[in-house]
Amino acid sequence: DMIGSKGTGLWSVQVAMDVGCPVPSLAQAVMARQMSMARAERLRNHKLVGGVVAASTAMKPGKERDEAIEDLYWATYLSIIASYAQMFQSLRYVDKEFELEIIGNLPRIISTFRAGCILQGYLLEPMTKAFEKDPDIPNLMCAFQDELKSGMRGLRETCARLARAGEAATVMQASLGYLVSMTQDILLAGQ
């Protein structure tokens, strides 16, 4: 219920903000960790305010549950894509600001993550190929456009289900906001 922090996530978000790069999923992950570390405060709040009461969320086996599981798969997958996209955009912005020659070396940089704790997983190979194919790809999410088109409904539905259940899935919700906002030609927030 309480997790520690080395500060690298916070540092990454601060640098991204300094260079004007939107990283909402990464920022929410840092804030979720900080809320986890505030356990004593959360317990006091719970004692005074109580927990958020939500409607029953148990699903019986069947079509609705199967759809929810499929939606959760897509929500998780696209949230991961959004997080990676934000991280690589942050590197792109930092590279532009400080001329570090990172962008042309992204496939090699990704390969250094394979043995580390930062980025592990089956998406490293398609990400590497995306940057090898097009080092100037506008955003990593563009390499996963088929998945985005297939999975956005599942991400939206999962975020809605979790909100109705009283669950704070802030990183997933931030990922949804990022993917929607960064693929719009006009943003209402900018009006």
Summarised one tens digit per residue, pLDDT across range 123-182 is 888 999 999 999 889 999 999 999 999 999 999 999 999 998 888 899 999 999 999 999
> Token digits for 168?
């704070």
pTM for the full predicted model: 0.90
Question: Considering the domain boundaries, does residue 2 fall inside one?
Answer: no
Question: Considering the domain boundaries, does residue 129 fall inside one?
Answer: yes
- φ/ψ bin of 99: left (φ > 0), alpha (ψ from -120 to 50), beta (otherwise): left
CA distance 136 to 133: 9
Question: Considering the domain boundaries, does residue 95 fall inside one?
Answer: yes
CA distance 43 to 39: 6
Question: Considering the domain boundaries, does residue 3 fall inside one?
Answer: no
Specify whether the CB–CB gap between 106 and 139 falls below 8 A.
no
Question: Considering the domain boundaries, does residue 153 fall inside one?
Answer: yes
Q: Residue 14: which residues within 8 A CB-CB, separation 6 or more?
A: none
The pLDDT, as a whole number, for residue 53 is 65
CA distance 15 to 158: 31
The pLDDT, as a whole number, for residue 61 is 87
Question: Considering the domain boundaries, does residue 36 fall inside one?
Answer: yes
CATH number at residue 48: 1.10.1040.10
Question: Considering the domain boundaries, does residue 1 fall inside one?
Answer: no
> Token digits for 103?
């962008």
- The residue range of the domain holding 117 is 8-190
For the chain, the domain total comes to 1
Q: Residue 109: which residues within 8 A CB-CB, separation 6 or more?
A: 91, 102
Sign of the dihedral through C-alpha 165, 168, 171, 173: positive
86-125 pLDDT per residue, tens: 999 999 999 999 999 888 888 888 877 765 555 567 788 8
Question: Considering the domain boundaries, does residue 132 fall inside one?
Answer: yes
